[in-house]
Each structure stands twice: as structure tokens, then as C-alpha cells.
């Protein structure tokens, strides 16, 4: 079963896809896909088939044979049975905007993990402002988005707060406005090794697309510190300080991660990343400058 999980992981890495990208192709959440390639339990055939198809594999018969062999091996070793279709279906997160509408993987639902005021869709938070002011700001932001954001997929509306930047091809002209390290605040053990205070766990970058009229946060882990993805979790957040609006993505393991877009026409945006070490719950955070500054 462990060898089968390694095959899945090798296939994904060869395809060049992150778990989140594969999630969008397969229709299963990053948490379900991560479990499939972790070797902790054998995935169902539905998950396996969607996994390999999303990676571009076309030889379904070969993978079916590998999966059945792994199932027999797991049964002989007394390992937990593969999750059934009904259970694995919980790994799917379809919605009106496609998979991962809640932008949360293997963690508490967006809108419930940090602040009860966060709305359930895309983790957007707004302070209590007079309704007229909010409406005026929203209208201005929408108008700016219509002028600047032309989605790569012509069926998509103009980019707005909470849009995933990739379908809009925002990375095509993106620049890094600021980048800071995420530094361990105290000594702790990661993957069986003592890491001293000051160890850089990764970097958080504020990405900006003039074409899309917005910015987002991206976290890139340091692969020399986290050699196993299950050694911690990461939460990326983009915050527009002028009105308190933010987007957030929580990933239940260590991998590259990014939060959704925030329009910058009404204020600058900060990029945040918080890494929590699985061993003892130590957290490290990085926060960029609030950019771009309005004239």
C-alpha cells in the first residue's frame, strides 16, 4: 500500500501539479488527495481514478490493476479498508464556483476558524461600516475590476474580491511587491530534528497583477526544513487594511499555498502567512508591507 501511495505522489510531482491544482481537475479536496498519497489508508477507486486522470494518465487499466493489488496487500496486512464511495464523496467540494469554494483544505471550514464574523464564502470579512459607504466602495471596486480584469476564461465574470487569480490568468503579468521570511519564534522539533529560533520556514510574497487590478498572498515552504508535508499546517491570507476585507486559505499540510484576490483600487493589500508546527503547535508568521500605495 505504501508503494502505491508513492506511485500516486510520483505521478503528481511528475505532472508538475500541486495538490490544489489537482483538486480543481479531479473534483476532490486537497485533503482527500493528500491522504491518498500519504499511504495512511488506501483511497477508493473513484479517488484513484480521478487522481491519475487529473495528472494526465490515460492507462486506466494499468492503474486499476495496481489499485487492486494494493487493496489485496492492505487486506492481508490488516490495514484499514479503502474508503467507500459514500465516504470519499465527502472529499468532494463542488459548488456554484466549482471545487474548493470554501477555500479550506483539511481544516475548519472557512469563516469559522479565526473569527465568528467571517462570512462562510471565501472567508471575507468586513467591518461594520455605514451601508451607503460600503455600497459606494463596492461599486467603485467593481467598476475598476471591469476595466482592468479580463479573465482568461471568457465565460468568467470580471475579477473581484475573492476571485481565484489562476483562472483569470492574473499570474501572467504578476510582480512581487514585497516578500518576507516566515521565521520560527522559538526552538522546536520538526521532522525529528531540532530547529533553532530564527529558522526560516518559508517565505510569504505579496503578488500583484495590474491586469486583474488586485493582489494576493502566496506562501512557499523551505523544503530543507519540512521534508514531510504532515509536519505542520499553513494559512495564507490577503488583507485590505482600508476596510478590513480579507481572503484566506487554510491547508492541512505544508505545501505552496495562496489566498484569493483582493482588488487594490480602494486600498493597499498585505500578505500574511501563518505556519503551525504539528509537533507542539508553535506558530510562525510573516506579514508583508501594505502595497501598492494609492496616490
- Say what the pLDDT of residue 178 is: 95
Which residue has 476564461 as its cell numbers?
Answer: 153
Rounded percentage of the chain residues whose pLDDT exceeds 90: 37
Write down the pTM of the prediction. 0.53
**Is residue 96 in some structural domain?**
no
> Do residues 168 and 159 touch, judged by C-beta distance below 8 A?
yes
**Is residue 12 in some structural domain?**
yes
> Do residues 103 and 123 touch, judged by C-beta distance below 8 A?
yes
**Is residue 145 in some structural domain?**
yes
pLDDT tens-digit readout, 25-39: 888 888 888 888 888
**Is residue 9 in some structural domain?**
yes
- Say what the pLDDT of residue 8 is: 92
Name the average pLDDT for the chain. 77
Joined together, the cell numbers standing for residue 124 give 471575507
| Domain extent at residue 185 | 131-287
71 and 137 in a common domain: no
Is 272 a residue whose pLDDT tops 70?
yes
* Residue after which a domain boundary falls, among 91, 113, 141: 91
- Say what the pLDDT of residue 285 is: 95
pLDDT tens-digit readout, 65-76: 999 999 998 887
Average pLDDT over residues 38-44: 87
CATH value at residue 43: 1.10.260.40
Calculate the alpha carbon distances from 122 to 62, 119, 132, 243, 288 in Å. Answer: 39, 7, 23, 16, 21
34 and 159 in a common domain: no
Lowest-confidence segment of 126-130, 145-149, 222-226 by average pLDDT: 126-130
174 DSSP β-pair partners: none
- Say what the pLDDT of residue 124 is: 40
Average pLDDT over residues 119-132: 36
List, in order, residues 6 or more apart from 146 with CB less than 8 Å away.
158
226 and 85 in a common domain: no
List, in order, residues 6 or more apart from 77 with CB less than 8 Å away.
1
Calculate the alpha carbon distances from 132 to 139, 145, 241 in Å. Answer: 11, 20, 19
**Is residue 205 in some structural domain?**
yes
270 and 137 in a common domain: yes
275 and 135 in a common domain: yes
List, in order, residues 6 or more apart from 201 with CB less than 8 Å away.
181, 182, 183, 184, 221, 222, 225, 226, 275, 284
End-to-end CA distance of the chain: 58
256 and 204 in a common domain: yes
* Residue after which a domain boundary falls, among 70, 91, 112: 91
- Say what the pLDDT of residue 281 is: 86
pLDDT band at 91 (very low <50, low <70, confident <90, very high): very low
Is 211 a residue whose pLDDT tops 60?
yes
146 and 78 in a common domain: no
Distance between CA atoms of 81 and 41, rounded to whole angstroms?
7
Amino acid at each position: 500500500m505504501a508503494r502505491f501511495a508513492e506511485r500516486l505522489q510520483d505521478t503528481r510531482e511528475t505532472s508538475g501539479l500541486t495538490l490544489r491544482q489537482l483538486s480543481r481537475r479531479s473534483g476532490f479536496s486537497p485533503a482527500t488527495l493528500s491522504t491518498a498519497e500519504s499511504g495512511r489508508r488506501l483511497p477508493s477507486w473513484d479517488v484513484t481514478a480521478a487522481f491519475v486522470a487529473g495528472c494526465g494518465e490515460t492507462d486506466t487499466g494499468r492503474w486499476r490493476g495496481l489499485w487492486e493489488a494494493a487493496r489485496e496487500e492492505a487486506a492481508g496486512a490488516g490495514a484499514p479498508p479503502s474508503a467507500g464511495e459514500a465516504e470519499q464523496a465527502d472529499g468532494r467540494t463542488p459548488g456554484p464556483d466549482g471545487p474548493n469554494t470554501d477555500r479550506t483544505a483539511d481544516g475548519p471550514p472557512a469563516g469559522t476558524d479565526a473569527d465568528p464574523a467571517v462570512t462562510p464564502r471565501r472567508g471575507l470579512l468586513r467591518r461594520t461600516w455605514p451601508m451607503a459607504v460600503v455600497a459606494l466602495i463596492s461599486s467603485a471596486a467593481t467598476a475598476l475590476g471591469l476595466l482592468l480584469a479580463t479573465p482568461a476564461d471568457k465565460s468568467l465574470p470580471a475579477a473581484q474580491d475573492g476571485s481565484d487569480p489562476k483562472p483569470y490568468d492574473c499570474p501572467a503579468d504578476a510582480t512581487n511587491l514585497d516578500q518576507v521570511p516566515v521565521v520560527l519564534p522559538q526552538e522546536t522539533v520538526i521532522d525529528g530534528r531540532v530547529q533553532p529560533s530564527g529558522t526560516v520556514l518559508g517565505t510569504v510574497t505579496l503578488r500583484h497583477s495590474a491586469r486583474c487590478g488586485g493582489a494576493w498572498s502566496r506562501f512557499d515552504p523551505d523544503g530543507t526544513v519540512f521534508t514531510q508535508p504532515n509536519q505542520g499546517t499553513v494559512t495564507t491570507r490577503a488583507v485590505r487594511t482600508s476596510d478590513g476585507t480579507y481572503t484566506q486559505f487554510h491547508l492541512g499540510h505544508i505545501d505552496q499555498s495562496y489566498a484569493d484576490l483582493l482588488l487594490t483600487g480602494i486600498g493597499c493589500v498585505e500578505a500574511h502567512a501563518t505556519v503551525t508546527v504539528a509537533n507542539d503547535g508553535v506558530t510562525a508568521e510573516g506579514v508583508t508591507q501594505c502595497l501598492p500605495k494609492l496616490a
